[in-house]
Structure 1
């Protein structure tokens, strides 16, 4: 119990320390409408690249499925039905099969179609569809935010704001129908930024109080601000928690939990999982649930240590679990001296040490998308993002769509997707259903689940020893895990060794002959050979 608690406390302190700075700073930055638009445009190239990669990966799997459908008559009856079920769940309509097969090279199919191969293909297709749906939803939300912020800026002259048709990504404020164009402009241009600044000030003070309480709870627990705001100070009810104290305690815990969970999107170590609106992948949902369950106990028990020992030792939570953590010296003292290290993520986020480490070593652990790259076109900066957003809106207007954002597409069969590789959706013809009936989908899911079980049983019955089976399962596990962004950046040469400089002229050429790069085998810029 002590080891599990210590590991959970390490994660909780790091994530909470990052969130205590990131949440107020994000509110202050979003209060500036022009700066918010610039950051959205800076973030657009990265999201668009991920969407293109996910679409390309899914098209390669769909091309493999197309080749498999041509051979379905040469397989067994069960495999033929399995291939038909996979084809029914395809996100590409029949009209795109020929187009996909034309520009995607034909994959090499195995000589013998086995249950293991079909199970692996089914698993990759399901993961690929959810991955594409995730980035389609992110791209649609980014486009919607860019359009809304641009509309607010454009309305500064006329002081009349109209967002047009409400999309699924619109906020609840945009859905209010009783607002006039003038009151809507005053709300978004004046009131909302002021509210964000006010919340940023309140959250900043709360962050300072939490950090101060973490630092003084061991040497002077009576000086803990959290303890002073919750405990009763009357002589008759000294060190007691009333109804008002319980409400304040719930607010403190709510903010600590919010700061911790807000860091999951920034840390790139587990950036391959995300929560998608109405379309979250089952593995991602399970992972997020597991992280919440893992961090609940460390956050709750660490919150109790803000109070004097004679107070938190009388709580129900301490008698239920805290006394088990204090069985060993590791658990008894770790909770009091380790939270001091919350200053490390706080200072790293406050002074942008992550960005400095990324500039030196070429990779970063925490995302710095909010900083925005204001470099020239072609380096992933805001100009390139503005061009991508304008191109997307121009394509939507040329297609004559009533709304360019129709919500995140489902990875289930739709049959109404546009020939474009982007997220724009064509309207289905009249009388044509865009989704299959519920009984058909339920039957497919049942058969798919049953075949996955059958494939596992068949794989275990194959002629392989224990070591081959273990190696095969490890390989499948490694292949199914996506590489995080910071791991892909490890192969790049850092700037201090003369690596690629995104802001350098000439399209980002490597300047290995300048700086310290010449000590690591670099060449001079003028072409001379160094002996």
Structure 2
């Protein structure tokens, strides 16, 4: 390198363009860009690009502040003025998007109103409580800051920056601490092929129940739309077009509507108001996206289970070939279409190479997690013993702290790992409500929320990483001049920034030793913090994987029949009911409406057993595991075979339909396990 930063500037610009391209591909993977409005795409794009650029800015800032004795080993560096202005633009844009734009945008796209003005007012009202809490906290913080430093502009700015950093640091430390254990553990568990299959099978019943409940919930809302359409002429003129739009998007046929009418207790109010229509529209949007979410998760689970089962079956012949299925055709990626490997090499790849690499990754990530935890706990007591600082800062015979290109690469790896663990926890900790990332069908409100969390977590983690460096180097960085000096402007905030990260031991120990489950057993509130993997292991030990195996096999059987041309999985009586049915032969349902009520007899008979609380805690599998096992072992109802093969599923369904017509509630035996219930369970996402 030379004394001119021209080469570093070119590298920085090229890296930013690469990050922008990667974020565009990420958005294309999760969002339909052609139909997503620009007022959603642009803020979400910026909210992901800016935090991603911080991972690039931190190493450049460290090298520009420290440097080396020789220009050749200085790495990528920029002038102090350019680095500081880059930090100002990135930080304040991220701050504005995180605390103002995205909260408003999320409620705006989630609103059910038609007019932009009404949607904006709804967004303001929905965020009123959130802003009231922030304003109250800000007033208390402002009084404290003025008491210590007097009143001037820097006090107000430092108060805003310090409070925003403090709240984000609390969330980031907890999520990162959880991910430092959960992420390496997921790699270790993935290495076991049989354990991987059993966890998939154990998760199938609960996922299938959620899919069934989402279908029922969508039917109920669409039935309300059908009732509104029948009463359209009695409503206000400005509401008639609104009702027509809802009815055009509805896909509930008449034969299914009669079934829903007998089971639902929801009625349309006598007076139709704008608020009621907006609330119904919002619920319809959420229900449709919940259906798409669980359909996507169910298809992916079935595809993964099929591939894993194929790997286990190939151990005898040492020849592995993945059969094409409807699920793989829908969810296959580029690697699934590459056929460079022979069946023999593919077998060794999946049986020996990938598990070995998983174990190696588990060892490396476990050591990295230990290094992060050690550095968080020791950095204030003895900064020289920080393992992360020792790997980033080099001392080639000089008393000055130095960071070269190798140190920059190491810093980027450490920062990426810390952010990965924090973001990994967003999918593990179950306190985020009805939000999920779905391939090409992500709900716009969910997209804004996940982008907001990405921006909210990256800034405090980046500054927390910089504090691992020696104090002399820390105070020389532009990041410290922008944020650090305001965070440490008062003794309380300075002590909070210095000592609170050591509380990372709390989520680390809680996740490592299963303390969430113990809290749940003692207080009953641990289901909010329960680890999904721990719950799945408990279910697998209780024998719930047997029911999941039967569900997966039946779904695969229906897909294989569709490939043979015997069934049509997508042509159901109602599109919301098309993902799962006892009778995969949907053509016969379209020909005769009399069998419409039996199309979903299996999901409706299963729902009485699963209570919402038991579904979350896993008590259902402990209490009914033995009965479910005996049912599947003694009764052949797992496969839906065509009539020309002599299947007796029609006889079983006919017997169940006659018993339901007589009003029997199935209190014992087979119908006792799968009988109807009067109350409708709430959807817990």
TM bin, normalised by shorter chain, reads 0.7 to 0.9
Distance in 1, matches of 2:259 and 2:403, equals 66
Secondary structure of the structure 2 residue equivalent to 1:173: helix
Q: How does 1:28-427 map to 2 (within 5 A)?
A: 28-90=188-250, 92=251, 94=253, 98=257, 100-101=259-260, 103-105=262-264, 107-165=266-324, 166-236=328-398, 238-362=400-524, 363-371=526-534, 372-373=536-537, 381-400=544-563, 417=575, 419-420=577-578, 422=580
Deviation at 1:60, TM superposition (A): 0.4
1:15 paired to 2:175: yes
Contact 2:222 2:252 in 1 (8 A): no
Contact 1:41-1:385 at 8 Å conserved across structures: yes
Distance 1:149 1:263, change over 3 A: same
Cα RMSD after superposing both structures: 3.5
SS of corresponding position for 1:367: coil
Give the distance between the partners of 1:24 and 1:2, measured in 2 at CA.
32
Aligned-partner Cα distance in 1 for 2:393–2:206: 48
Structure 1: 5+ residue runs without aligned partners? 430-487, 509-531
Q: Is the 8 A contact 1:214 1:340 kept in 2?
A: yes
What displacement does 1:287 show? 1.3
Q: Name structure 2 gaps, 5 residues minimum.
A: 1-160, 588-611, 629-685
Instruction: Go from structure 1 to structure 2 and tell me whether the alpha carbon gap of 1:279 and 1:376 turns closer, same or farther (over 3 Å shift).
Output: closer
Distance 1:239 1:390, change over 3 A: same
Report Cα offsets for 1:428-448 as digits up to 9, x if no partner. Answer: 99xxxxxxxxxxxxxxxxxxx
Assess, with a 3 A threshold, how the Cα gap between structure 1 residues 426 and 489 changes in structure 2: closer, same or farther: closer
**Counterpart contact for 1:18–1:263, Cα < 8 Å:** yes
Tell me the SS of whatever aligns to 1:167. Answer: helix
- 1:237 Cα deviation from its structure 2 partner: 7.5
- Provide the rounded CA distance (Å) in 1 between the counterparts of 2:190 and 2:567: 24
1:26 is paired with a residue of what secondary structure? helix
Deviation at 1:423, TM superposition (A): 8.6
Distance in 2 between residues matched to 1:288 and 1:403, nearest whole Å: 42
Secondary structure, counterpart of 1:502 in structure 2: helix
Bigger mean CA deviation after superposition, 262-271 or 358-367: 358-367
CA contact (8 A) 1:144 1:170 kept: no
Counterpart CA distance in 1 for 2:211 and 2:624 is: 27
Partner-residue secondary structure (3-state), 1:313: helix
Query: SS at 1:110's partner residue?
Result: coil
Q: Distance in 2 between matches of 1:287 and 1:213?
A: 31
Q: Secondary structure at the match of 1:17?
A: helix
Shift of residue 155, structure 1, vs aligned partner: 0.9
Q: Report what 1:512 is aligned to.
A: none
Indicate which of 612, 622, 635 corresponds to 1:502.
Answer: 622
Aligned length: 439
Post-superposition Cα deviations, 1:307-337, rounded to whole Å, max 9, x if no partner, equal 1111111111111111111111122111221
Q: Deviations over 1:361-413 (max 9, x none)?
A: 44433333323356699x7821121122122222333445679999xx9xxxx
SS of equivalent residue, structure 2 residue 476: coil
CA distance 1:135–1:376, change in 2 (3 Å): closer
Change (3 A) 1:95 1:489: closer
Residue 357 of structure 1 deviates from its aligned partner by 2.5
Give the 3 Å change call, closer, same or farther, for CA 360–503 of structure 1 in structure 2.
Answer: farther
Report the more deviating stretch, 79-88 or 257-266.
Answer: 79-88
Deviations 1:92-139 (A, max 9, x none): 254665455455436422222222222221111111111111111111
Q: Is the 8 A contact 1:43 1:369 kept in 2?
A: no
Q: Please say if residues 376 and 503 of structure 1, whose CA atoms lie closer than 8 Å, have aligned partners that are also in contact.
A: no
Q: C-alpha distance in 2, partners of 1:73/1:86?
A: 15
> Do the aligned partners of 2:310 and 2:322 also contact (CA within 8 Å) in 1?
yes
Distance (Å, rounded) in 1 between the aligned partners of 2:271 and 2:320: 63
Listed one character per residue, the Cα deviations across residues 269-288 of structure 1 (whole Å, up to 9, x for unaligned) are 21431111111111111111
Within 1, Cα distance between the matches of 2:622 and 2:249?
Answer: 42
Following the alignment from structure 1 to structure 2, what is the Cα–Cα distance between the partners of residues 77 and 220? 73
* Alignment check: 8 A CA contact 1:42 1:381 kept: yes
**Residue of structure 2 equivalent to 1:485:** none
Decide whether aligned partners of structure 1 residues 274 and 108 sit closer, same or farther in structure 2, where only a CA change above 3 A counts: same
TM-score, reference length from structure 1: 0.75
Q: Distance in 2 between matches of 1:60 and 1:53?
A: 11
Indicate the SS of the match to 1:370. helix
Structure 1 runs (4+) greater than 6 angstroms displaced: 401-406, 423-429, 504-508
Change (3 A) 1:43 1:77: same
Distance 1:155 1:176 in 2: 19
- Secondary structure of 1:234's counterpart equals coil
For residues 96 and 205 of structure 1, the distance between their equivalents in structure 2, rounded to whole angstroms, comes to 60
Q: TM-score, normalised by structure 2?
A: 0.59
8 Å contact 1:221–1:308 — kept in the other structure?
yes
Secondary structure (helix, strand or coil) at the match of 1:297 reads helix
Give me the whole-angstrom Cα distance separating, in 1, the residues matched to 2:236 and 2:539.
58
| C-alpha distance in structure 2 between counterparts of 1:189 and 1:404, whole Å | 34
Aligned partner of 1:524 in structure 2 is none
